[in-house]
Amino acid sequence: MFDGFELERIKVGEVSLRVRHGGSGPPVVLLHGHPRTHTTWWQVAPRLAEDFTVICPDLRGYGESDKPPADDDHSQYSKRAMAGDIAHLMSELGHERFAVVGHDRGSYVAYRTAMDWPDRVSKLVVIDSVPAVEALERADAKFAAAWWHWWFFAQQETPAERVICADPETWYNAWTSNGPDHLGPENHADFLAAIRNPATVHAMLEDYRAGLGVDRQADEDDRAAGRTITCPMMVLWSLQDDMEEIYGDLLEVWRPWAPDLAGHGIDSPHHVAEYAPAELAQSLRNFLR
């Protein structure tokens, strides 16, 4: 995987991140979702590296990146903390301005980076998400039935960690829909190592717990202050996922947050970087260059 890329650990403030980077040209950072690691981009990053310098970190708590102790409000795993990691990472690599692409949970980090560091982010792409506050305000029976794991992950009295860690490979469909045939053998091995680590499972759930509290509050504060995403933004979504069924027109959901907005669907299941890497890479290249 990632032929020609360099793999290293980079200190970014209080945590160190596992990072893979390579290519040449304008910098773009790719942020994975749950329960993946940076290796989910293994078929996308090399395609982009023909035109861009591509940086793929494990988010804090995920993969082999550091897992700081959780605090009472889960802010150690807030998207604001993770966005700060990305801004500091790009400074360490010598990139003052950069594009950010995020999928799933990584998309929350991506748009928080654009909101908190507007002078640093040149373009933003989010895949399969809407702002946290929009998701929670629109939550209804359909949402609860489809995305019930948000509430399960958030429980404190009966921690989800006990259930997941009892059999992580079954929980995460590691030999069916998330098997090596779909993920690729090396990406699958990295995914397995992550979900088999109880510390990683705990950190991934802390990400969701932050999403229902401090992340929502950050969105509400931005909306109340009239802050929007100032850079050009593209929204992509997987047509075989349930985004349109739950939210309808995703561009209309995002438009109040991003005046300079474009986007379209891609015919793929949820993990588009693994199921439709060529189409995703082409969409990103067309927007970012």
Among candidate residues 86, 85, 78, the one with its CA nearest the CA of residue 29: 86
Locate all alpha helices (DSSP H) within the chain, ordered by sequence.
45-48, 79-92, 105-116, 132-137, 141-146, 149-154, 160-166, 168-171, 180-183, 185-195, 198-212, 214-225, 243-247, 250-254, 272-275, 277-288
**CB neighbours (10 Å) of residue 29?**
27
Residues 278/285, Cβ–Cβ less than 8 Å = no
Residue 16 forms beta bridges with which residues? 11
Structure tokens at 234: 């593209």
> Is 104 a known active-site residue?
yes
Report which DSSP code applies to 179. S
Exactly one of 85, 104, 190, 222 is catalytic; which is it? 104
Residues 281/288, Cβ–Cβ less than 8 Å = no
Q: Catalytic positions, please?
A: 104, 270
